[in-house]
Amino acid sequence: MSRRDRLYLAIYIFVLAPIGAVVAVCAMLLFGVKPHTVFAVGFAIRSVFGPHVPNAVAIVSTVGTWWLAIVIVGLVWERVRTPR
């Protein structure tokens, strides 16, 4: 992997993927998906920590899950697209 490709990968992982995750969550809420459905992963993670955990934990873990999914899809895409 060249130096330029590493730079593009870093930009993708640390800039584009987080923005895409936030946009995905906001778009789902905008188009009428119930908030409890959108943040289901976050609520599940929040329930592990107990009843007195702030809602921010659910929000951050939901966006983090979307970020991870976008990064995984991007890395798989790059691996399939790149000839060996």
Number of domain units in the chain:
1
Those residues whose C-beta lies under 8 Å from the C-beta of residue 53, and which sit 6 or more positions away, are: 46
Q: Cα–Cα distance between 12 and 78 in angstroms, integer?
A: 11
CA atoms within 13 A on the CB side of 68: 7
CA atoms within 13 A on the CB side of 44: 7
Range(s) of the domain holding residue 48:
3-81
What single-letter amino acid sits at 26?
C
pLDDT per residue as tens digits for the range 27-77: 999 999 999 999 999 999 888 988 888 989 989 999 999 999 999 999 998
- Note the pTM of the prediction, 2 decimals: 0.86
